[in-house]
Chain A
């Protein structure tokens, strides 16, 4: 899993799924606080400085195939995934 860290929220995208340009586009579209963007190669990349703005809406989790995106609350250890 590709990992990124901030003070309160950690978002993980499965490396295989991160390479899917369609998914990258979808994630960038659904996240209300711009935590995802499609990088130069169309891969899903995480915008580190926005991580702590995550509103825990789970839209990214729902947009991705089961188990491919996980959002973890670092202050409680709980993870949002499906």
Chain B
């Protein structure tokens, strides 16, 4: 889940990170007041979730409160990648001498969190990695041992940075790591971190992403405080009503994942997931000429209730003729529990499972129990001897009649 910049900065502030003076403006008069309080030049930034704000005209500078009001009015009217800003962040304009990049994310290959630091901030870190790899340092963190500031110091020092700058950057990087760990983030990035002419450091822009699964854990302590609702989706376009209903399903209880759906125009509803399987299945359905009505995720051993509610949401979408229930081999999700949920959802929607479920292919834990249940309801099921691709083909064939 992506945070708006002003929310990300609020989280960083909680860990003691130094930020420019400022606030958010809902209307031009607010921007004028913030600029007056700051008493100098300000920068105004559109609060949207997509990148490319500068290029799109979503970032403006103002020397006076009157200019700030005009700039704010323009930004509030400007859509960026189909998103209207939720507000405008107004901050003191900093006199920057040099820019740095600090980041923490997961290294999927090493299977460890990693700190990334560069003395070439303000541009894409991928670009720096390609053109100036010697300006990037990476140090992995342990998932067993607690984090120590010393590790941040090692990371900064490995770029040849010394003296007061080493100490100051170490402090900010350590605060960023603590933010990453405290809020179960998947990405914490400060880019750029500005070194001001007086030698101090201030966060100019940042980007934080929270692991979706961790939202519930932080809902009451942090997300409520930021005004982020439990069913608020954070993606590059406004969610459809169908997608919002899906998100609500995921919140019915804490068990497993079911309900993150993205809507399409097709007639085959998909209840899919597990270990990257959802993408493979979605592609396979299309390859065989099928038209998915949705993309979704289910896994992590959802409750019967959750699987049932997800099925009902998918079947409620106009134009859905049948559903395909396909997953990779599961070990931590019970086949029989998903089977119960799906069958119940179909029955409660007023349909015959044997007719409505084109194919059920989830091999894995408790599959024997699941298959007994499916047999009772006359549902076409298959085990792991049938590939996900073949299951998708069978579903497409059935829906074609």
Contacts and interface: CB of A to CB of B under 8 A. Distances in A.
Interface of A: 7-8, 33, 52-53, 55-56, 73, 75-76
A55 B340 contact: no
Contacts of B376: 75-76
14 contacts: A7-B340, A7-B343, A8-B340, A8-B344, A52-B340, A53-B303, A53-B304, A55-B334, A55-B337, A56-B336, A75-B376, A75-B377, A76-B372, A76-B376
A53 B377 CA distance: 18
B369 A56 contact: yes
A33 B253 CA distance: 12
A75 B369 CA distance: 10
Contacts of B373: 8, 73, 75-76
A73 B344 CA distance: 15
Contact of A53 (B305, B347, B369, B372): B305
Contacts of A52: 304, 340, 344
Contacts of A56: 336, 369
Nearest to B253: A53
Nearest to B337: A55
Nearest to A51: B304
* Residue in A8, A33, A55, A75 with the greatest tally of chain B CB atoms within 10 Å: A75
A56 B365 CA distance: 13
B300 to A, nearest CB: 15
Interface in B272-324: 303-305
Contact of B372 (A7, A33, A55, A75): A75
Interface string B332-372: 00101100100110010000000000000000000001001
